[in-house]
Chains A and B, each alone.
Chain A
Amino acid sequence: MIPAPIVDLVSLSPVIVLSLFAMGVLILDLFIGKDKTVLVFLSLLGLFLAAVSSLAKGTGPIYSFSNSYVVDTFSIFLTFVFAISSALAIMLSVSYNKEQGIKIGEYYSIILFCTVGMIVLASSADLIMIFLGIEIVSISLYILAGIRRTEKRSNEAALKYFLLGAFASGFLLYGMALVYGATGTTHLKDIASVLASSEFKTSPILLMGVVLLVVGFGFKVASVPFHMWAPDVYQGSATPVTAFMSVGPKAAVFAAFFRIFVEGIPNISDYWDTILCIVAVITMFVGNLGAIIQDNMKRLLAYSSISHAGYILVALIAKNSLGMSSLLFYMLAYAFMSFGAFAIIIILDKQNGDNLEVKDYAGLGFKHPVIAVCMSIFLLSLGGLPPFAGFVGKFYIFSAAVKEGYITLVVLGVLNSAISFYYYLRVIVYMYMKEPEGDYQVQPSLAPFSLLVIGIAVFGTIELGIFPGPVISWTMN
């Protein structure tokens, strides 16, 4: 008789709940007509239950599945971030899909599956689990990127994303294999304890593995110089998908990035520290300088998202508990501001894909003042201006880095914040200053769900900016 392994289903409950709902949505889609609204509600219910069920285990780190799955504040908080961002993405998609003629019910189910992968990523304490999570997330995203099947750009996006994503997965897996080869274990905790003794530290195999991990993760989070795919993919994908990609999956990959580097191999940080510092700095610079010359809103936000990856890397480099909590806070803040900005792009978007240029926003401030004010709030928050969430997030990250003595890095980050204002303000200038070319045509489609998303995003952006206390103390646990 082979003894049955200990299965801790309670730890796994968010994953199980969400998988069930994803399958339910998939099957239900077969039996309903063209109106997919019921799927939306079912998916939202699933995300809600998943988030709630993640609290089942309390906050202390609880390891299960022979130490490869862990439930702690980090994973619980991120589960909430994922649930929120996926819910926002689904709500944004409702009217967008109707207008764009995307009548694919699987869409919602894939988003749920992707969320499952993200939760797995955030909770894994083992290299293999991490790879599993990354693949679930990536495969879902390849499909989502190409969901507008008749659109040329969407196809291009999907193919590009797939090819580069597959390469990245290869790098990642190779890196993991080498780390495993050098340390003899895939558990992050064990890797850390093996590396605590000095004899393995300088093993060339290990260092090669770490470099490959940096490359693989660099691709997945679109950090420079592995960012080439991001603008094209972000521009080509359906806008709600773009919003989704730039928030949830990125946060999930960062979570795994953080777990491996800060929980797994902190003892050899001398080696990866410099690499990551350089990557962070060039990511910020390329992202921000690239965004300056963009005329397409989606591309602009794509580059801005690249630069934000740079800021988040700074939190990772800080390697302390403050860094972890600032990472979490930033993820949540970024979810709100990014979704808010994308929501406004979506309600101004038209069927034929017009109105995506910055100049199409000319005169918005007078025709639709409320929308323009909301957009200004999101953009100023992305730039990091108080009293909005983006400011507290950046402040928090930079405090963590300064605490560890990375003054130069912080000064460069701060400088980048200043640069970023140039292009965020440019949009605001267009909204308030420029006269529209020709007749003013933009007619926002104010679907209730989109308005709800904007409302939530505005609330979150301001709330986290003025009263960040409760959230911060939650992340500090």
Chain B
Amino acid sequence: MEQYIGASLMLLFATGIAGGMVLMTSLLGPKKSFADKDEPFECGESQIVSPHQRFSVKFYLVAVLFILFDIEAVFLFPWAILFKKLGMFGFIEMFLFLLILGVGLLYVWKKGGLDWE
């Protein structure tokens, strides 16, 4: 059982903080009521519209690029922590990895994928 103590504490803290935040906002926050605010979802889009509404493809592009570089960060963190233990091998590997990503970035950049307009 002992090895689960840390995890249980983590779980406890996480639920505590999340629940606490919800509780605190409902207790402390100001409460004004108007039409838009009372809609079940509050995300800047109208409730009742034609389902064939189009999104600009740029949203998807940004989302995909975000995921790409997000995952890059996911790989970078553990590497940074183990940097010394991995030594030269780890350095070269990560260098290659970043190089390949760099090629992708260069491609996206030149193609204009980063320009909004």
Whether A associates with B in a native complex is yes
Could you tell me the dominant secondary structure of chain B's interface residues? helix
The interface size of chain A toward B, counting residues with CB under 8 Å, comes to 8
**A30 within 8 Å of B by Cβ?**
yes
Judge whether A26 and B85 touch: CB under 8 Å. no
Task: From the candidates A1, A5, A27, A30, name the one contacting B85 in the complex (CB within 8 A).
Answer: A1
**A4 within 8 Å of B by Cβ?**
yes
Q: Contact mask B77-103 → A, CB, 8 Å, 1/0?
A: 000001001111110000000001001
**A276 within 8 Å of B by Cβ?**
no
Determine the chain A residues whose CB is within 8 A of the CB of B111 once the complex forms. Answer: 30
> How many A-B Cβ pairs are below 8 Å?
24
Give CA–CA (A2, B110) in the complex, Å.
Answer: 39
Judge whether A2 and B82 touch: CB under 8 Å. yes
Complex: chain B residue closest to A23, CB-CB: B103
**B23 within 8 Å of A by Cβ?**
no
Give CA–CA (A26, B111) in the complex, Å.
Answer: 11
**B76 within 8 Å of A by Cβ?**
no
**B106 within 8 Å of A by Cβ?**
yes
Q: Contact mask B19-30 → A, CB, 8 Å, 1/0?
A: 000000000000
Determine the chain A residues whose CB is within 8 A of the CB of B87 once the complex forms. Answer: 1-2, 4
Determine the chain A residues whose CB is within 8 A of the CB of B90 once the complex forms. Answer: 2, 4
Complex: chain B residue closest to A30, CB-CB: B110
Determine the chain B residues whose CB is within 8 A of the CB of A1 once the complex forms. Answer: 85, 87
Determine the chain B residues whose CB is within 8 A of the CB of A5 once the complex forms. Answer: 89
Judge whether A26 and B103 touch: CB under 8 Å. yes
CB contact list, A17-36 vs B, under 8 A = 23, 26-27, 30
**B107 within 8 Å of A by Cβ?**
yes
Q: How far is the CB of B28 from chain A (nearest CB, A)?
A: 46
Give CA–CA (A30, B86) in the complex, Å.
Answer: 36
Judge whether B100 and A4 touch: CB under 8 Å. no
Determine the chain B residues whose CB is within 8 A of the CB of A30 once the complex forms. Answer: 106-107, 110-111
Task: From the candidates B82, B88, B106, name the one contacting A27 in the complex (CB within 8 A).
Answer: B106
Give CA–CA (A23, B88) in the complex, Å.
Answer: 25
Give CA–CA (A26, B109) in the complex, Å.
Answer: 13
Determine the chain B residues whose CB is within 8 A of the CB of A27 once the complex forms. Answer: 103, 106-107
Task: From the candidates B86, B100, B106, B107, name the one contacting A2 in the complex (CB within 8 A).
Answer: B86
Complex: chain A residue closest to B109, CB-CB: A30
Judge whether B107 and A26 touch: CB under 8 Å. yes
Judge whether A2 and B85 touch: CB under 8 Å. yes
Determine the chain B residues whose CB is within 8 A of the CB of A23 once the complex forms. Answer: 100, 103
Determine the chain A residues whose CB is within 8 A of the CB of B110 once the complex forms. Answer: 30
Q: How far is the CB of B87 from chain A (nearest CB, A)?
A: 6
Determine the chain A residues whose CB is within 8 A of the CB of B85 once the complex forms. Answer: 1-2
Q: How far is the CB of A187 from chain B (nearest CB, A)?
A: 22
Judge whether B107 and A4 touch: CB under 8 Å. no
Complex: chain A residue closest to B89, CB-CB: A4
Q: Contact mask A208-242 → B, CB, 8 Å, 1/0?
A: 00000000000000000000000000000000000
CB contact list, B44-99 vs A, under 8 A = 82, 85-90
Give CA–CA (A5, B93) in the complex, Å.
Answer: 11
Determine the chain B residues whose CB is within 8 A of the CB of A4 once the complex forms. Answer: 86-90
Q: Supply 12 further A-B pairs (C-beta < 8 A) apart from A1-B85, A2-B85.
A: A2-B82, A2-B86, A2-B87, A4-B86, A4-B87, A4-B88, A23-B103, A26-B107, A27-B103, A27-B106, A27-B107, A30-B107
- Sample of 13 A–B contacts (CB below 8 Å): A1-B85, A1-B87, A2-B82, A2-B86, A2-B90, A4-B88, A4-B90, A5-B89, A23-B100, A26-B103, A27-B103, A30-B106, A30-B107
6 nearest A-B pairs in the assembled complex, by CB-CB distance = A4-B89, A30-B110, A2-B85, A23-B103, A1-B85, A2-B86
